Amino acid sequence: MASLLLGGRLGAASDEEFVRGTLKTNCVRCHGEKKAKADVTLHALSIGRMPANEVLTWKKVYEELENGTMPPEDEEQPTAADRQRLLTWIRTSLHAAGEYVDPFKRLRPSRGNWVDHDALFQSKPGSETSSADRVWRVTDAAYLQFMHRVIRDFRIDLNPRMIIPPWRLEASREFSDYSISHRIGEAEITIHQRNCERIASKVVTISKRNPRVPINPVLLAGKSATRAQVEAIVKPLGEKLLDRKLEAAELARYSEFLLDALQSHEPEQAVGQFIIAALSHPQVLYRVEPAAGESRRILPPELLARALALTLTDREPDSVLRKAAAGGALQTREDVRREVSRILNDPQIEKPRIIGFFREYFGYTSADEVFKCQSTLRLMGVPNKQDYQPQNYVADTDRLVMSVLAADRQVLRELLTTRRTHVLSNRLPASSYLPERTAALRKEAAGKFGTEPGHQLAFTTYGATISAEDWLAHRTVDMPADQRMGILTHPSWLIAFSTNFENHAIRRGRWIFEKLLGGRISEAPVTVNAALPDEPHNTLRERMRVVRESHCWKCHQRMDPLGLPFEQFDHIGRFRTAEQVVDRDATERLEKDPRSRGKGPVMTTVPANISGGIENSGDPAVNGPVNGALELIRKLAHSERVEQVFVRHVFRYFMGRNETLADGPTLVAAHRAYQANDGSMKALLLSLQTSDTFLYRAKSPAGEAAAKP
């Protein structure tokens, strides 16, 4: 015991000496007695027990170290191991001082890019990898699929809309379906129980009339029911509810549950309680992915089948996959390759998770949620709010993504650069799409004009025309080559990154920096006033001068030059060469005229400044100034780094977690598969889902250790 205590003290002393030496080497030259950048001094900090008056300073040090913003890029950097050792010491000392530091912050979706990109893609394929064992809440769509299947199988007279998912995966800037992001709490369980109660009452009624489920003897026997009678109910009813065979242990457990329930409830209530219990089985609510034993092991066939099905289809395994799992034909990598290929190549199997990835990755679906008030639209030349229908643009982009996926060639590059697009996919005519072509043409657009060949419909937002026949057949149209290129110039994406009043150049730039270049941006401190000055007479670019303050520009210099080239579009997605600002002098004269009061500001136009640039991208070939969004997109679309960052995001979405350095071989192999197959999304997904990372599980401590940045 004495030697252990001595060893502990020596270890602590060693850590303290290490911390003291690291601060001296990397920090105090800029944050010391003679020089205190940002009014932070570190030379006199206690190394040992942390006094209360130093907690805030140590928290700042921890945050800067974890974010990678300190030491600055142009200063000597500690090694990754030294940085992690320092973070561990500070976190432990803060906890000892009663200050909590979230140890799982690095696992959250917003930290996906924090693992060094070059280190990941310098990994050698073939190394053994795995994922940590986990319990992962199913998506709301998968939950509904399961419950609706029960309603269909039992032919229950219940409107499926009465089944409410206990949780919703709301769209956000990051992927919403991460295994660590959500837990099922009391509120979710309450909603689930209500759903089960609705189904249970109907199932009991139906089962009483079903001779294949001998429920009536138990209802008549009540408390006197025998185990044999109970098992005669539990087995067929439970297997039909869960859509699989019950194991012996499950049969015994559910039978015991029903026997106990019969002692304290009326028979019909007791059977209903059993149905609720069966529908509350973990498989209804969770993906359970355990590690068997101490070493890494491949998932058991039944769980592997569920993982494959839920990852691609958001529903339980189909009959082919279940048969393979039950028959011993889902145990090897080649078995998995066969089944994944089958699912990916069968057009009859719906794969909503794939289109779901692109919707979340590009974020264009939120266009329909960006509020535009009536006065804003009127100022933009849209007289009626019903003429502004961003859901049409979202539908157009959905169809574009699906058509590119169908071709499955250079998927990312095509989505970024194609001039082809669908227009008005849901066939709802809206004057914001149409030119000054009179009400008669709009009436034809609603469906009558198809009998008169030769008509051309003009879609002003896209700057394109299409024949009536092509429009009705949902054929694509070319956007003007000098105006638009790919999803980032689609109205849906542009509107999604806007506000009620104007474009959001900062958010657009941040999206490009993080989603295409794999960059890292820290969240703005709560003490920073993020509002731009209210100067309607100045352009957005002019008003953004405030972010050039030294404490802001450190991050904004990475984002803003990427977002400002998109000022060649207005905030409802139309191409422009000039932008509107308030004419102060004319507006003042108007306000002084009693007859004109309340008529609003007078607008004038100024040339749109669409200059920008790419710096610190990690790919020297794309760095440099750009003039407009199209030049920016062309550069990025042909960058190998951008392609690799795309692979990283595909990994996160389909694996449900951030990548770690241990996942480097998986990412390298996936990128090679994508390149070797002409930019095929199917090849990329096949590589990921047959990787060790997807197939194997290990105990959590090993996975947690690998997750450290």
Q: Tell me: pLDDT of 655 over 90.
A: yes
Task: Pull the structure tokens for residue 35.
Answer: 């020089």
Distances 390 to 309, 461, 493 between C-alpha atoms, Å = 33, 11, 10
Distance CA 250, CA 241 (A): 13
Least trusted range by pLDDT, from 3-12, 146-155, 509-518, 561-570: 3-12
Predicted pLDDT of residue 31: 79
Collapsed DSSP state (helix, strand, coil) of residue 614: strand
Distance CA 530, CA 552 (A): 10
* HSE (side-chain half, CA atoms, 13 Å) at 195: 26
> Which residue in the block uniquely carries the two structure tokens 């003039």?
627
Predicted pLDDT of residue 380: 86
Question: Nearest-CA neighbor of 459 among 573, 344, 335, 586?
Answer: 573
Question: Nearest-CA neighbor of 372 among 503, 506, 508, 499?
Answer: 499
Q: Tell me: pLDDT of 45 over 80.
A: no
Question: Nearest-CA neighbor of 296 among 650, 708, 706?
Answer: 706
Mean pLDDT of 186-194: 94
Q: Tell me: pLDDT of 101 over 60.
A: yes
Higher pLDDT, 277 or 293: 277
Q: Tell me: pLDDT of 2 over 70.
A: no
Q: Predicted confidence band at 526 (pLDDT cuts at 50, 70, 90)?
A: low
Distance CA 687, CA 675 (A): 12
Higher pLDDT, 704 or 292: 292
Question: Nearest-CA neighbor of 664 among 119, 81, 24?
Answer: 119
Question: Nearest-CA neighbor of 417 among 482, 476, 484, 473?
Answer: 484
Predicted pLDDT of residue 126: 67
The answer to whether the CB of 691 falls within 8 A of the CB of 670 is yes
Distance CA 274, CA 605 (A): 70
**Exposure string over 107-123, b if 16+ CB within 10 A, otherwise e:** bebbbbbbbebeebbeb
Q: Which amino acid is residue 301, in one-letter code?
A: P
Distance CA 542, CA 564 (A): 11
**Exposure string over 240-278, b if 16+ CB within 10 A, otherwise e:** bbbebebeeebbeebbebbbebbeebebbebbbbbbbbb
Contacting residues for 529 by C-beta, under 8 A, at least 6 apart: none
Task: Pull the structure tokens for residue 364.
Answer: 């264009």
Distance CA 494, CA 488 (A): 7
Collapsed DSSP state (helix, strand, coil) of residue 27: coil
> Domain map of the chain by residue range?
26-101, 134-286
Higher pLDDT, 299 or 172: 299
Contacting residues for 530 by C-beta, under 8 A, at least 6 apart: 524
Task: Pull the structure tokens for residue 667.
Answer: 């990412």
On average, the pLDDT of the chain sits at 85
Predicted pLDDT of residue 371: 93
Predicted pLDDT of residue 159: 93
- Highest mean predicted confidence (pLDDT) among 77-86, 302-311, 520-529, 588-597: 302-311
The answer to whether the CB of 132 falls within 8 A of the CB of 704 is yes
CA 646 to the chain's CA centroid: 13
* HSE (side-chain half, CA atoms, 13 Å) at 275: 30
The DSSP bridge pattern shows strands 696-698 and 131-132 to be parallel
Q: What are phi and psi of 360, to 5 degrees?
A: -75, -40
Q: Predicted confidence band at 454 (pLDDT cuts at 50, 70, 90)?
A: low
Task: Pull the structure tokens for residue 124.
Answer: 């050698």
pTM: 0.85
Distance CA 320, CA 625 (A): 54
Collapsed DSSP state (helix, strand, coil) of residue 200: helix
The radius of gyration computed from the CA coordinates of the chain, to the nearest angstrom, equals 30
Predicted pLDDT of residue 450: 42
Higher pLDDT, 380 or 684: 684
Predicted pLDDT of residue 455: 58
Predicted pLDDT of residue 510: 95
Question: Nearest-CA neighbor of 279 among 228, 232, 237, 227?
Answer: 237
Mean pLDDT of 187-198: 95
Q: Predicted confidence band at 680 (pLDDT cuts at 50, 70, 90)?
A: very high
